[in-house]
Amino acid sequence: MKRHEIILQKIAKQKHIEVLELCEALEVSAVTIRKDLKLLEKKGLLYRTHGGASLENPYINERAVVEKEKISVEEKNGIAQAAAKLIEEYDSIMIASGTTVQALSKFINPKEKLTVITASVYVVLHLIHNKNIEILQLGGYIRHSSASVIGSYAAQILSNVSCSKLFLGVDGIDFDYGLSTTSLEEAQLNQKMLASAQRTIVLADSSKFGKKSFAKICDISDINEIITDSGISSFNKKKLEEKGVKVTIV
């Protein structure tokens, strides 16, 4: 069926696609599209998600940071460089955990004083040699898979600080479920970070769209900006902007 061919072509290109987007493109009802997706899923050609379909399994399992940092390296570096340009002189920023925000630390080289609050051990190791950077390392238990701090001690510190920007990494971005990660404790700490920041900027390559994981961090409307790569679909970009999120594409 030609309609199925078009669906498979679109999902091969975009990795994730929404039912409403397919309705508009193919000029058929949502009921028809859902039947198509169900049939294609039975054939093992895609995975159905809430409100759409994905080329890959949308449910993210935990992976070690040493494994994740080898994925989409060029995209992550481009995103990190764009994020670094948002940091101002005498700024106070927060950097969460994850390989994309970890890449950000490689491009931070302030000429004046900068204060960085972070949960990531790797971020500290990247920044520690720069005398212009004052680092507040959050304390607590170290989560081995992400080499980052989790727990109530870190949350207590955050209740006494405020910063201009939070650079947040995520495992999944789903328009219904929101932003998510594989660890409930990490998600809870991320929520505390959001509350301590005036502006939240998510750094995520386009493969994160249409994915979800165990622990929800926040709704999409709770963030201010997403920096991603050119693999994002025009449909997803439009949906983000409709929710008031600025989209920067590198």
Listed in order, strand segments (DSSP E) in the chain are 16-18, 47-49, 52-54, 92-95, 114-118, 133-137, 141-143, 148-150, 163-169, 172-174, 178-181, 197-203, 215-218, 225-228, 246-249
pLDDT of residue 2: 87
Cβ atoms of residues 132 and 112 within 8 Å: yes
Of 166, 186, 4, the residue nearest 86 (C-alpha) = 166
pLDDT of residue 212: 84
State the pTM of this model: 0.78
pLDDT of residue 3: 92
CA-CA-CA-CA torsion for 246, 178, 13, 75, nearest 10 degrees?
A: 60
pLDDT in tens, 176-211: 899 999 889 999 999 999 999 999 999 999 988 888
In the chain, which stretches have pLDDT less than 70? 58-72
pLDDT of residue 70: 53
Alpha-carbon gap, residue 87 to 184, rounded angstroms: 29
pLDDT of residue 44: 86
Structural domains of the chain, with CATH: 2-54 (1.10.10.10), 65-249 (3.40.50.1360)
Residues in CB range of 5: below 8 A, 6 or more apart: none
